[in-house]
Amino acid sequence: MNDKLKAYFRTDHLPHIWCPGCGNGIVTAAIVRAIDDLGWSKDDTVFVSGIGCSSRAPGYLDFNTLHTTHGRALVFATGVKVARPDLNVIVITGDGDASAIGGNHLIHAARRNIDITTICFNNNIYGMTGGQYSPLSPTDSFASTAPYGNADRTFDLCRLVEAAGASYVARGTTYHVTPLTNMIRRGLEKKGFSFVEAMTACPVYFGRRNKLPTGVDLLNWQRDNAVPVSRAAKMEPEELAGKIVIGTFLDVEMPEYTETYERLLKEHAADRSGE
Amino acid sequence: MSSKELSAETPVRIDRSLCKACGICIAFCPKQVLEADEGAIAVVAHPEECIRCRMCELRCPDFAVTVRGDRGG
Ligand SMILES: Cc1ncc(C[n+]2csc(CCOP(=O)(O)OP(=O)(O)O)c2C)c(N)n1
Ligand code: SF4
Ligand code: SF4
Ligand code: SF4
C-alpha cells in the first residue's frame, strides 16, 4: 500500500470485505487522496455512512467514523454538523441508501444547503442484499428482482439534488478516476451542500446479470458510455439514453445552513440570555 | 528474474497480500507492464516499459499497487 494512503487507513482491517473488481475501493481511495490534497486533519474530519456494501467504507478509514442505519446517514451527519460546525463532515452512501430509503433526507439536506459533502457510490444496484434493482438501475437492466428487465425509469439523482438547492453537484466514474478525485476535492472545499455521484462497479450483482461480469468489463462500460456534460448539452434525449453524463453540473455560492443558524443565535443572544 | 527481485528496482510494487486478482491494473496499463501470474495475481513483468502514469495505483480497488517517483520521472 502507498505510504501516503496508509496514513489514513485502519490497515489492520485490510484486506477489505469487497469482492474482487468491486469499485468501492477505487472511490474510497479517491476520497482519501482528495483529503490528502487539501491537507485536512483526520481529527477534524468525520465520515458518516448508512448501510450497504459502500457504507462499509468508513470502517476502513482512520478518521472519526459513524456507521448508522440504512438511508439515515445524512440525518446523523446533520446532527454532527449542527453541533460542531467546525468539523468537516462527509457522507458515504449507496445509490439505494441515498435515493430510495434515504431520498427524502437527501432532498432536505440539499435544500438547507448544510455544509456536508455527500459521495454517492452508484453501482446501479442493491449490492449488499443480493442485487435487487435500485432507483438508479438503468431501465431494461437486469436485477434479481427484475428478471425480465427493469421497467422503471432511472432516477437522475444529480438533477434532483441540484433542484433541491445544493451548492455543488458533479458525476464521475471509477474509470475516470483523476477527474473524480478532483470533483471530490472541489466538493469537500465547497461551503454548502455538495453531492458527487461516483459511478462504481458491482461485478457480482449488477455486472453478472448484465453481461459485464468483471470489474474490467464495468470500467470499459463506463469508458465507452461516458459523455462529458458539455457534449451532452448538444445531444438529443434519445441519443443520451443509456449514457453516463459526467462532469460538474453546478458550482455556486449560497448561504450555508450552520452559518445562518449561528447568525440567528447571535442576533437573538439577548432574548436567549433572558430565558 | 522474479517479481520480488524486480520490485527493488522498479517504480511499481504490487502488495500480494492485498491483491484480489481482479485484473484491472493489467487491463488498463497503457504499456502492458503488468501481467497475471498462475493465480491471476498481478506481477510486474516489464518494469522498463513503465511511464509512471499511476493509473494502476489509482484504479486498484484493493490499494495493492504503489507507483514510486513522479510522473514521467
Ligand atoms: C431499514 C432497513 N431496510 C432495509 C435494509 C436492508 N438493506 C441493507 S443494505 C440495502 C441496500 C443496499 O444498496 P445500496 O444502498 O445501493 O448500497 P450497496 O450495497 O449497493 O453499496 C438494503 C435494502 C436495512 N438494512 N435496513
Ligand atoms: S456485492 Fe457488489 S457492491 Fe458489494 S462488495 Fe461485492 S461487488 Fe462490491
Ligand atoms: S488492480 Fe489491484 S487487486 Fe486488481 S489485479 Fe491489480 S493489484 Fe490486484
Ligand atoms: S504506472 Fe502506468 S505504465 Fe507503469 S505499470 Fe502502472 S499503469 Fe502501467
**How many residue pairs bridge chain A and chain B with CB atoms within 8 Å of each other?**
68
Establish if B62 belongs to a structural domain.
yes
Q: Which ligand is nearest to the CA of A216?
A: 3
Q: List phi, psi (to 5°) of B57.
A: -70, -45
List the domains of chain A with CATH numbers.
2-273 (3.40.50.970)
Determine the pLDDT at residue A54. 98
Establish if B19 belongs to a structural domain.
yes
Of B20, B24, B57, the CB nearest to A219: B24
How far, in Å, from the CA of B41 to the mean position of ligand 1?
31
Question: What's the pLDDT band for B5 if we cut at 50, 70, 90?
Answer: very low
- For residues B4-26, give the mean pLDDT: 84
SS3 state at A47:
strand
Of A3, A15, A33, the CB nearest to B62: A15
Question: What's the pLDDT band for B69 if we cut at 50, 70, 90?
Answer: confident
pLDDT tens digits, one per residue of A160-204? 999 999 999 999 999 999 999 999 999 999 999 999 999 999 999
Establish if B72 belongs to a structural domain.
no
Set of cell numbers at residue A45: 474530519
**Containing domain of residue B34, as a range?**
3-67
CATH number of the domain residue B57 falls in = 3.30.70.20
Under 8 Å between Cβ of A206 and A212: yes
* Cα angle: A55, vertex B60, A15; to 5 degrees: 55
Please tell me the distance from the alpha carbon of residue A48 to that of residue A214, in angstroms, as a whole number. Answer: 29
pLDDT exceeds cutoff 50 at A76: yes
State the total domains in chain B. Answer: 1
Establish if B20 belongs to a structural domain.
yes
* Cα angle: B7, vertex B10, B14; to 5 degrees: 50
* Residue B60 with chain A: CB contacts under 8 Å: 25-26, 29
Set of cell numbers at residue A11: 490497515
| ipTM of the complex in this document | 0.95
pTM (predicted TM-score): 0.96
What value does the mean pLDDT of chain A take? 97
Task: Tell me, using a 6 A CB cutoff, whether residue A157 lines ligand 1.
Answer: no
Task: Tell me, using a 6 A CB cutoff, whether residue A18 lines ligand 2.
Answer: yes
pLDDT exceeds cutoff 70 at B6: no
Task: Tell me, using a 6 A CB cutoff, whether residue A57 lines ligand 2.
Answer: no
Q: Which residues contact A31 (CB under 8 A, 6 or more apart)?
A: A57, A90, A92, A119, A184
Strands (DSSP E) contained in chain A are 45-49, 64-67, 88-94, 116-122, 168-173, 194-199, 226-228, 244-251
Determine the pLDDT at residue B71. 47
Establish if B39 belongs to a structural domain.
yes
pLDDT tens digits, one per residue of A98-122? 999 999 999 999 999 999 999 999 9
Establish if B38 belongs to a structural domain.
yes
pLDDT tens digits, one per residue of A120-170? 999 999 999 999 999 999 999 999 999 999 999 999 999 999 999 999 999
- Of A192, A22, A177, A34, give the one whose Cα is nearest residue A94: A22
Establish if B61 belongs to a structural domain.
yes
